[in-house]
Structure 1
Amino acid sequence: MSTKQITKIAVIAITSALITSFIFLTTFANKRSQPESIPTTNIVTDIHPVPVVKSMPIPSVVLFANDTLPLDRNYVVESLDRELLVNSYWQSSTLILLKKSKRYFSIIEPILKKNHIPDDFKYLAVAESGLSEVAVSPSGAKGLWQIMSGTAKDYGLTVNTSVDERYHIEKSTEAACKYLQHAYDKFKNWSLVAASYNAGKRGITKQMDLQGAKTYYDMLLNPETARYVYRIIAFKLIFENPSKYNFILNREDYYPPFQTYQVTLNHSIKNFSTFAKDRGISYKELKYYNPWLRKPYLKNSKHRSYTILLPKKAKQKSL
C-alpha cells in the first residue's frame, strides 16, 4: 500500500471519529439542558398563572339615598359599569380607601345621622378627597369635604392664617351637612343634591331649566359632573361588598379609629412644639391629629375656644 493511500485512509478515519464525537456531545448536552423528569410544557403555566380580567357585577337594583337608578337605560348601566371597572382595577388606590374607611366613617356617620343626611353621603367624601382631611384641590378646595374658602365661612368655619377648620374632620362634616340640607330643600332629590356638590346649586338649576329635566339621570352635563354621582355609587357598591369586587380584607387590615382625648384652648399658644414636648409627644404627632392648626403657634387675642385632640398616650397637663 502506498503512502498516499495510507494518508487518505487516516484522514477518513479521523473525520469519522470527529463526526461521531460531535453527535455524542450534542445529544448529551441536550439531555442535560432538558431533563426528562421536568414537564417543560407546564413550567410557565404553573409558576405564572394568567391573570383573569373580568367585568364587575352590577346588582339588578341599585339605590343611592333611596333614589333608584333607572337601570333600564343603557347609558346609566354603562356609566356605572365604567366607574366600577375603574375603581375595582385601580387596586392599590381603592384598597387604601377601604383600609381608611373604618377610621373616618366612625366619625362621619354619627354626624350625618344627627343632621338627617342619608348615610350614603359618606361615599361623597370618598369621591371628593380620598378620605384625606389634608387634601387640597387645584382650585383651592380643602379638607375631607373639599370646601372652598368662601363656602366655609358661609357655613360657620374659621379660615385664617393660623386656623383653617376645613381641615377639621368634625367641623367640616357639620358644614358639609348644612350645604347638603340646603341643597335638598331646593331640589327635594338626593341625587341632584350630590350632583350640586360638584357643579354647584346654580349650575344644576341652570341645566334643569335649559333641558327641562327633573332628575340627574335625565340631564346632559359636563364630563366631570356626568361621572360624579356614578362614581359615588360605585364606591358604595364596592365598600358594602368588597369581596364581590375582588378586595379581600381581614378585620385587622382596616386602620383603627383615632384613640384621643380633648383639650380646650381659650388663649394663645406661643410655640406648639414646646406644647407638644411638654405632653410627651412630637410636634408632628400634634399636627397629625390637628391638621387645622396651620401655624406652629396660635394667636387667640379674642380668647375663642378651640378643642384640640391629643393621643391617649400624651400626658394630661393643665394649661
Structure 2
Amino acid sequence: MTEEHSNAWAAEAIRRVREGGPHVTPTPLRPLSLPAIRGIDIYLKDESAHPTGSMKYRLVRAMFCEAIASGAITADRPVIAATSGAVAVAGAHFASLLGLDFTAVVPARTAAEVLARIEGEGGRWQVGEQPPAAVQEEARALAERLGGHFLDHFTDVERAMAVSGEPTIADEIFVQLNGEPHPVPEWIVAGAGTGATSAAVGRHLRRMGHPTRLAVVDPENSAYFPAWASGCGDYTTGMPSRIPGIGRPRIEPGFLPAVIDLMIPVPDAASIAALRWLRTAAGIEAGPATGTNLWGVCHLAARMSEAGVHGSIVTVIGDTADPYLNTHLDPSWVRARGLDPAPYEADIERFVRTGYWPAGQHPA
C-alpha cells in the first residue's frame, strides 16, 4: 500500500468510525426522581444508548480513531483485545465496520451471553490459557504473532480520549443541563475502570473553571480508593472486581487521582441493591456499575440535604441490564457469592421515602 493510499484509507476509516452506524449523540440525560430530597435534582447520563449498549463504545471509538491516525491500525492488520466485557463488544463492532478481523482473548468462565455479543458484532474470541491476570499479556503476544494491533484499553484509552477532538461526556452533560434549574451540578459521580471517564470529567471541570466536584465510586477488591486515600501510586489488591466495568486490582495508567475530589468505597452488595432498586422502582434497566454510581449519589444527596445545599448531581448509566440477567440480577448467583443486598435495599427504599440515609453500615 502506497503512502498516498494509506492516508486515504486512514481518512476514510476515521470518517466511518466517527459517522458510521446509528450514533446517539449526545446520549440522553434522564432525570431520576427522589421525592424526599427537596431542592436536589438527580440526572442519569445514559451511555447505554450507544449502539453496543455501553459507555465503552465512546472510549473504544476514540481508541480506534487514534490508532488509525497514528498508523497502528491499517487496512490489513487484525485487532486483538484482552477483555471479556463491553470493550470487546465495541472493539468487534468497529473492526467489523472497517472490515478488519477482531479477536478477544477472554478469561475462562466468561459468560456465554458476552461471547454471543462479541460474535454478534462480527468478532471472534478465544479463551486465554493463562490465569485471568495474565490474559492481557497473552493477547499482546497474540497480536505480535499475527502482526496485528493490540487494543490496550488500560494504557491507551485515556490518551486517545484526550486527543480525540470530539465532545466528551462532560461536554455533553453541561450542554444538556443548560436551561435546567441547576445547570452547573454540585457533583458528577463516576466509576473508574480504565480511569478515562473520570479523567475526562475532571479535566473538563478544571479547564472550564466549574465549581462542580468529581466523586468516583469504587467497588470491593479495587485498588483505586486505597491508592487515592493513601497517595500510594502503585497500590495493588491482587483480586478482581465483581462489578463489571469498574474497579481494578492495580492502578491503571489512565487513572488520574489529582482530578478527583472525593472517592466513595461501595460494598458490592450495595451496588446490587441499588441496581435492583433502579430496575424495580425506577424502571431503569442498567448494569451493576450504575448501581455503584447510584449508591454514591445517595450518599452525596444526603450530605447536601443535611447541609441545606440545593443543586444537581449527575451520574452515568454505564450499560444495560441484559448481560447481567443470569449473574448480578439472578438471586441464586448473588447468594452463591455470599452477598446479601437486602439491608442495603432497605436503606435505599427508606432514603427515597424519608430522606434518611444511614450510610449503609452493614456487614460486607
With structure 1 as the length reference, what TM-score do the two structures score?
0.23
- Which of the pair is proportionally richer in helix? 1
Larger radius of gyration: 1
- Which of the pair is proportionally richer in strand? 2
With structure 2 as the length reference, what TM-score do the two structures score?
0.21
